[in-house]
């Protein structure tokens, strides 16, 4: 479900992914996700679980704090 929190989080994931020079598909592979999952997160269409968030942070090589360090 698209919420402001999901949209803000997704935009930040997309920003960090692009900053690292990764495609959605390559980040999904690093995280062990289906290739379409990152897109749904970045568009704010899904709420990521804490397990998925942890995998995204590892895939981006950032801390959880850095993953959530954005203005809402």
Q: Where are the chain's structural domains?
A: 4-67
> CATH topology for 4-67?
434 Repressor (Amino-terminal Domain) (1.10.260)
DSSP 71: -
Both tokens assigned to 32: 């062990």
CB 4 within 8 A of CB 72: yes
Percentage of residues in the chain with pLDDT exceeding 70? 99
Q: Report pLDDT digits (tens) over 37-61.
A: 999 999 999 999 999 999 999 999 9
The values of phi and psi at residue 29, to 5°, are -60, -45
Does the structure show a pLDDT above 90 at 17? Answer: yes
Q: According to the model, what pLDDT value does residue 72 have?
A: 59
53 C-beta neighbours (distance < 10 Å), count: 17
Going by C-beta distance under 8 Å and a sequence separation of 6 or more, which residues neighbour residue 72?
A: 4, 5, 8
């Amino acid at each position: 479900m698209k919420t402001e929190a999901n949209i803000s989080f997704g935009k930040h994931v997309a920003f960090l992914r692009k900053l690292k020079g990764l495609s959605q598909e390559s980040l999904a592979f690093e995280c062990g996700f289906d290739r379409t999952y990152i897109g749904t997160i970045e568009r704010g269409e899904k709420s990521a679980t804490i397990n998925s968030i942890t995998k995204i942070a590892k895939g981006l090589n950032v801390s959880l704090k850095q993953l959530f360090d954005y203005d809402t």
